[in-house]
Every structure is written in C-alpha cells, then in structure tokens.
Structure 1
Amino acid sequence: MPGINEQPPFKVLIIGGSYAGLAATLNLVDLCQGRKCRFNLDENDKAPEHKVPVQITIVDERDGYFHIIGLPLAIGSNVDASIFWKKFDDIPALQSPDISHIRGRVDSVDCKSRIARIVQSTGDDGHKIIEQKYDYMIACSGLRREWPSAPKSLTREAYLAETAESVQAIENAAAGVVVVGGGAVGIEIAAEIKMLQPQTKVTLVHSRQQLLSSEQLPDEFKAKTLELLTESNVELVMGARLQDTLLADDSTAAKFLLKLSDGQELYADHVINAVSRFTPTSSYLPKEACDPEGYIRITSGLQFSGDVPNKEYHYAAGDLASWSGIKRGGAAMHQAHFAAVNIHQRMLAELYKTEPTFNNLVAVAPMMALALGETAVGYFPTMGLSSGDEIRNMFFNDDLGYGICWRWMRLGEDTEYKS
C-alpha cells in the first residue's frame, strides 16, 4: 500500500454551495486533515488517527454563499442584503488548497464512470463544458425556488441590485404593501417589512382559512402565528384568493388594484407574490436515483438508495434528499455533517483497512421556527409550542440567523492546513 504522501487525493464533488454543501465540505476537510470535525461537540470523541489526502470541488451557479433564510429581511434592508451574500473567494474557511470552486451547473452525472459534465461560467454569459472525475459525490443542490423565496441573481453584484430595487419599492409604498401567500416565506416577509417600515400598511392575503395550511404542524402553532402577526399590526385577509392585479385608475393614488375571489378589492403600491413554488434540482441525475417528485432516494447513511451503479459513492444531503421532516437549513447542515463523516469512514477503510462506523439519520417529525419581526414562534416536539425573545434569540437574533449559521459552520475562520 502506498504511503500517505504517495496516495493521490480522493476527489470529492459537492454539487451546491449553500448550507449542506459548505457543511459537508468543511466537516470533511476537518476530518481528512486529522481534526475532529467542526460539528462534533462530543467531548469524548477523539480526532482521527490518520490524515487522508482529499481534493474537494464545489460546483454552484452562484458566485458565493447566500443566507437564504434571511431573504425576508434582505428584500427590505440594503444593509442586511449586503451582509447575507459572501463570495466564495471572500469566505476564509474555504481558502484551503484542499478546496476549489467552479461557478457553473452540473449538466449530467454518470454514476457508473463517476464523471460529471459541468457547464462552467466563463463570465459575460459565456460558458464551457468540462468533465470532472470524482471518487465521491454529494448532491446538495437543493430546490429551485422563485423570487421572493430565493434571489434570481447568480452574482453578488446582480443580487444587490435586485434587492435594492425591492427595498426602494417597499420604502416608496405609501399606499401599502400586499404580500400574497400565508406560508412560511409570506408570513416572514410581511412581518419583517412591518418591523422595518412600521408606518407602512402591510397586508397578508392567504387563500385558506388557516396560515401554514400546507404544513403538517399543530393547529396551536398556526393559531399562535396568526395571533403574533395580528399583534404586530400586519393586516390579514384569510380565505380569499388573488384573482387579478390591475393598474389602479386616476381616482386613487395607489399603483395597483387587487381583486380577490370573495369580491374584496385592495389597493397597494407594491405587491409581493410569496406563494411557494419550488422544484428539485436533480435533473442531472439518472431518474432511477430519484422518487417521482425528483427528490433523491437515500439510505439513513445518506447514500443513494435507488437503482444506480456505484451507489455507495454517491450521497445526498439537504432539501434535495428524500427524508422525513420539513426542509430547514439546520436539517441540511446536520445531514451534510453525517454524509461527511460516513465518506471519511469509507476513505479510512480503503486506505487503512479499518472497520467503518457510520452515522445514521433518524426519522424527523415536523418542526419549525418562524421569525415575526420583533418576536418569533416555534414548535419542536421536544419543546412544544413557544414564542417570544427566547425563540427569537435561539434561532434568529437580529439578522434572521445569519450570524448563527456563519459561526456554526465557522466560515470566518481560516481552515487549518498542514502538509
């Protein structure tokens, strides 16, 4: 067996550079460099005895990491918008010889040959096709979401222009803002706008009689959300569907006239359609890897479980993985942590003939925390229903969780590298 210095590095392809992708990358680099991984808080666990040469390539269409949880705040605040997008080149933790980044999208993956076809951006709307050979792959590309659930932009500069336009529209909405859609995104957007612009009339329109109607969460959580929104002076129109948005006539100072299914008419200067629309980004994978909706079938160890070759070398984590529970940033990072540990165990077994010990996911019950401006509400099976400053500080603080995620992944720290 070759010595560790002669062993060519394991090539790991990570598709997606958001919560799951960065968590997988940094935990795996920790382990391969002979450290306890950054998400392991068990004081009884020891650092790995052996180092493992590794070369990790992150592929993402964006030029940086975006704190997508913070978008309801970013669309109303230029200051927060600027903080929430960090170019990959400006994230200290990623500046390691073990980590590289390709801005582009994966067009196809051949699981048998373990080769990915990547459409790489070359700037000015140009691109080139490259083929990337890998030993292990983790699919972390998540869901394709529409604005305002996610930015349309792929570069920081375009994103800042996009959010600045939104901020200006909200600040100039003398006749009020209407947010359409009473899911998590719409609720948080309405609450954050009202917090930022307390003088502005903010109305949330939802087609059902109950907020969060598509989520398998307790009625008491949904009722508490409604109560706190009302207390924050967000106006609510329930059980009515938006049928048409028209330019208002000269008899009113408002820009838009909204016609609802129950006959109501609303006037506003700015309308935000927050009805959730999202699709899995798994089109680059063989259809056998995915369920009928496009989510990747995985084992509890995060490996592909569909009928594809070399499934033991293919993993998925985050929103794209078919697993129980509501899609959340915390769950994505947790899954990525386990995927990194399990891949590292396989690498050690291959190099040193050790017996691998794998981490396995457990079934996850529905749970959620919602930021509601100056307050927050949460439901977790172990905690039950709770709201107020405790929940806001635990999950969001003043920046919709940006600092919490940044510190948890330790993105601001240089990744130690020892040759």
Structure 2
Amino acid sequence: MSSIFTDDVRTAANPYKVLIAGGCYSGLSAAINLLERCDTIDSPIPVEITIVDERDGFFHVIGSPLALATRSYAEKAWVEYKDVKVLQRPDVRFVHGSLNKIDCETKMATISEGQTTRTETYDFFIAATGLRRAWPVVPQALSRKSYLMESGTHIDSVTNSTAPILVVGGGAVGIEMAAELKEVKPNVNVTLAHSRDKLLSAEPLPDMVKDCALELTQQTGVEVLLNHRLTSATPAKNENGIGVFEVEFSNGHKMVASQVIMAISKSTPSTDFLPKAALSTDGYVNIQPTMQLAPETPNAASHFAVGDLIHWSGIKRCGAAMHEGKFAGLNIHQIMLQHIQGREPVFNRLGEIPPMIGLAVGKNAVSYGPEGMNHGPQVMQRFFEDDLGFRIVWDHLRLGGMNA
C-alpha cells in the first residue's frame, strides 16, 4: 500500500500531527470530531492537534449584531480557548498567532506568534480561517480583553445617540444589526438604508423571502430606506454642539445621523497562506467533495479546507461550516485507518448545497430552504433561541465538554 506519510510507525511518542488554521465553527468541529473517533477504546489512534488562530478565543460570529448592542451578551459571545473544556487535553494545543505560509509539498507551515516566526511540520492540514470581515460586521480585536473594550465603546456611542443611528447595507448583517439594536434599545431611532429595491438583494433567494425580511424589519420599528445609495457622511455638529453626521444619498435624500454603521463591506477569504494553485480566481479554496484540496495541489490528500473559505455552492452559514468541519475530521480518521489497517477509506462527501438561510429579526426570524419559507417567533426559537444561537452551537460542538 502506498503511504502519504514519511514515517509509518505511530505511537503516543510519535502521533499523527494535525494542524488546523482557524478556531471557529468549522475548525473546532473538525478537531472535536476527529478526536472523538481517535479516542475509540477498541482502536485508539495517537494524534496531536495544533489550532492556530489570530484570536485568543472562540467568538460566536452569528451573535455579532447583539454583541455590539449589549454588554451582557458581548461578555458571553467570546470565550477564551482555555475555557473551551472539550479541548483542554494534552494532545491539543492552541497557538495565538497566524499562518504565513503552507508548503504543501514539504508539509511545513510557517507560523507567526507574537514577534516570533517559526516552522512546524504536520501530517494533515485543515484550512478553516473563514472570511475577513470589516468592522463593525465583526470585532477586529484579537484578545477578549481588547474586544470588550472595542465593543463597549461602540455600544456607548450608539446607545447614547440623540439623532437616528444609520445602518448602511440591507444584507443579512445589516438587517440583524439594525433589528438587534432596536430590540435592545427601543428608545433609539434606527434607520436601515439599502441601495437596491429589495433587502437581501445579493442572495439567491426568492422575492417572498426578501419581502418577508422587509416586513419583519419594519415590525421591529426600524425605518427602512430602499433604493438609497449612500454618497457621503460628513462629520458635523448639531445645534447643541454634539457630533453628528450629515448624510446624503444618490437620490438626493438627506438626513442627520448620530452614527453611521457600515454593513456593506465585501468579505474576502483569508487564504493568503495557501499556494495560488489551490485557490479560485477570487481567493476561495478549490476542494473536492471529500473536503480535500483539488488534485493539482501537491499532497492534496493530506490537505483539507472547510467553512466559509471554500469554493462551493450555497450561502455561507454556520451550520454548513460545522458540517464541513465534521466531514474533514471523519475523513482524516479514515485515512489514518487506511494507514494503520490497510483498509480502503470510506469518505464522507459534500453534496450540492441549495440556497438556505436563517435570519434573526428582532423577536422573529425567517427561514428558507428546500422545504420552503417559514417565519415568526417559533422560527426564532428553533434557529436562534434567545441568544442568537450561542447555546445551540455550544452544545452541538460540545464545547463545554463531551458530556455537556
């Protein structure tokens, strides 16, 4: 049997080395599912997992709109990796740093950690670094301490507003930011401006979903301005000397806003560390249905990519990211079994993902998928509960421990 490994003897002193770039939904899912399989009592497999992330903890990205609206939720939404109980074990190591380069041919990673740059070899690599999203779509802080300062400053600025808060961009993030802010601070006037005639205009969704999103947003008390493309937001002072923004749109409409929150930044895949041959023209990772990199990449069988950075069908979602991470973990386990036992691997394969969405809008939510559209408070409870899905994700990934 041909082997993808340079050393065929694996023991506790010489385990399989798995390097994961990214410690959010897909990266943690891959690690947890792989460990669960490797821990099997009748045939345990020695493994050493290193998870590299620029942040010092797991941040619940779905909850970002609420984390930037209320301090109590901000405290909850970021959990330092040392408090993720399921991964507090001697064969898992977290590195607070970033990947500079992956050499697929030599299976060597260049990692920056603080002011230090070093190299590290691996047997398997999983890219799970997701998309780079600008402030305030997600916090830019890299430590929990600085994140709480960053989010606290933002919360103070929007909740002490006298003029309306303007959220620019009627995609999922803009809708949720505007609705959560209005829900948490009903006395604050919130306006959502979108350049097109439908909300969610960039998503491959039927008009009934977009129209429902508009209706639910308006029900929260948010004023929605469609066909309003922002042209300028000029700092000024009102009659009381308080700083505001004089806003103008391309249709000539003008308004004064206390704060202007931009929710329209284009997210870009965080894949600079990978070879160009592994990427699509827009920087997403080309993968096979097994989550392995495309065959033209050297040692493609040992390299995986999961989550928002993959070039695949479907709307980028947390559920899909965790599902893809699980497949990567299970498929790596299959390759290990092939190496140890000589049996042909049985891979999990990712199928076509149809357009699906779950959108939280105040106390309501709208969902859409192959089964059709649903909306209302019962959809909110099913998809998000009362914490924008934090408990659902925490328990699904068993982050509080395998028996949590």
TM bucket by the smaller chain? over 0.9
Q: Which residue in 2 is equivalent to 1:313?
A: 302
Q: Which residue in 2 is equivalent to 1:26?
A: 32
1: CA distance between counterparts of 2:127 and 2:9? 31
2: CA distance between counterparts of 1:4 and 1:201? 62
- Shift of the 292–227 alpha-carbon distance from structure 1 to 2, 3 Å rule, reads same
Deviation at 1:7, TM superposition (A): 7.0
Q: Do structure 1's residue 276 and structure 2's residue 269 form an aligned pair? A: no
1:170-204 residue CA offsets vs partner (Å, 9 max, x unmatched): 11012121100001100000000110011111000
Matches within 5 A, 1:5-404: 5=11, 8-34=14-40, 49-121=42-114, 127-251=115-239, 255-382=244-371, 384-404=372-392
Deviation at 1:247, TM superposition (A): 2.4
- Shift of the 178–313 alpha-carbon distance from structure 1 to 2, 3 Å rule, reads same
RMSD of equivalent CA atoms: 1.7
Q: Which residue in 2 is equivalent to 1:44?
A: none
- Shift of the 348–272 alpha-carbon distance from structure 1 to 2, 3 Å rule, reads same
1: CA distance between counterparts of 2:403 and 2:297? 34
Amino acid corresponding to residue 20 of structure 2 in structure 1: I
1: CA distance between counterparts of 2:9 and 2:245? 70
Q: What secondary structure, in the 3-state scheme, does the structure 2 residue paired with 1:267 have?
A: strand
CA contact (8 A) 2:10 2:16 kept: no
Amino acid corresponding to residue 15 of structure 2 in structure 1: P
- Shift of the 6–74 alpha-carbon distance from structure 1 to 2, 3 Å rule, reads closer
Deviation at 1:5, TM superposition (A): 4.5
Q: What secondary structure, in the 3-state scheme, does the structure 1 residue paired with 2:288 have?
A: coil
Q: What secondary structure, in the 3-state scheme, does the structure 1 residue paired with 2:365 have?
A: strand
1: CA distance between counterparts of 2:309 and 2:254? 39
Q: What secondary structure, in the 3-state scheme, does the structure 2 residue paired with 1:25 have?
A: helix
Amino acid corresponding to residue 9 of structure 1 in structure 2: P
Deviation at 1:51, TM superposition (A): 1.1
2: CA distance between counterparts of 1:5 and 1:78? 47
CA contact (8 A) 2:238 2:244 kept: no
Amino acid corresponding to residue 23 of structure 1 in structure 2: S
CA contact (8 A) 2:357 2:368 kept: yes
Deviation at 1:276, TM superposition (A): 3.0
TM (norm. structure 1) is 0.92
CA contact (8 A) 1:57 1:102 kept: yes
Deviation at 1:394, TM superposition (A): 1.2
4+ runs of 1 displaced by more than 4 Å? 1-7
Deviation at 1:117, TM superposition (A): 0.4
2: CA distance between counterparts of 1:214 and 1:182? 9
Amino acid corresponding to residue 27 of structure 2 in structure 1: G
2: CA distance between counterparts of 1:414 and 1:99? 15
List alignment gaps of at least 5 residues for structure 2.
1-6
Amino acid corresponding to residue 18 of structure 2 in structure 1: V
2: CA distance between counterparts of 1:175 and 1:90? 40
2: CA distance between counterparts of 1:244 and 1:306? 47
User: Once structures 1 and 2 are overlaid, which stretch shifts more, 347-356 or 73-82?
Assistant: 347-356
2: CA distance between counterparts of 1:372 and 1:340? 34
Q: What secondary structure, in the 3-state scheme, does the structure 1 residue paired with 2:166 have?
A: strand
Q: What secondary structure, in the 3-state scheme, does the structure 2 residue paired with 1:255 have?
A: strand
Residue in structure 2 matching 1:406, options 389, 394, 398: 394
% identity of equivalent residues: 43
List alignment gaps of at least 5 residues for structure 1.
36-48, 122-126
2: CA distance between counterparts of 1:20 and 1:5? 27
Report the count of equivalent residues. 397
TM (norm. structure 2) is 0.95
Amino acid corresponding to residue 55 of structure 1 in structure 2: E
Deviation at 1:248, TM superposition (A): 3.2
